[in-house]
Amino acid sequence: MCQLLGMNANTPTDVMFSFAGLATRADEHKDGFGIAFFEDRGLRHFIDNQGARCSPVAEMVQRYPIRSDNVIAHIRKATQGRVTLENSHPFVRELWGRYWVFAHNGDLKDFAPRLHGAFRPVGDTDSERAFCWLMQELAKAHASVPSIGELSATLRELLPRPAAHGTFNVLLSNGQALWAHGTTALHSLQRRHPFGAATLADADLSVDFAALTTPRDRVTLVATEPLTSDEAWEAFAPGELRVFRGGERVAA
Average pLDDT, the chain: 90
pLDDT score for 19:
81
| Total-model pTM | 0.94
Which of 219, 221, 173, 220 shows the shortest CA–CA distance to 41?
173
pLDDT score for 223:
94
pLDDT score for 221:
96
| Tens-place pLDDT, residues 175-215 | 999 999 999 999 999 999 999 899 988 788 888 898 888 99
Preceding amide of 194 cis, omega within 30: yes
pLDDT score for 78:
66
CB atoms within 10 A of CB 162: 25
Catalytic (active-site) positions: 2
| Tens-place pLDDT, residues 4-37 | 999 999 999 988 888 877 777 756 656 778 999 9
Query: Taking the CA of residue 65 as centre, how many other CA atoms within 13 Å lie in the half-sphere pointing to its CB?
Result: 1
Structural domains of the chain, with CATH: 3-250 (3.60.20.10)
| Tens-place pLDDT, residues 78-104 | 677 687 889 988 999 999 999 999 999
pLDDT score for 205:
84
Task: Examine the pLDDT at 163 and tell me if it is beyond 80.
Answer: yes
Q: What is the mean pLDDT of residues 143-159?
A: 94
69 or 26, greater pLDDT:
69
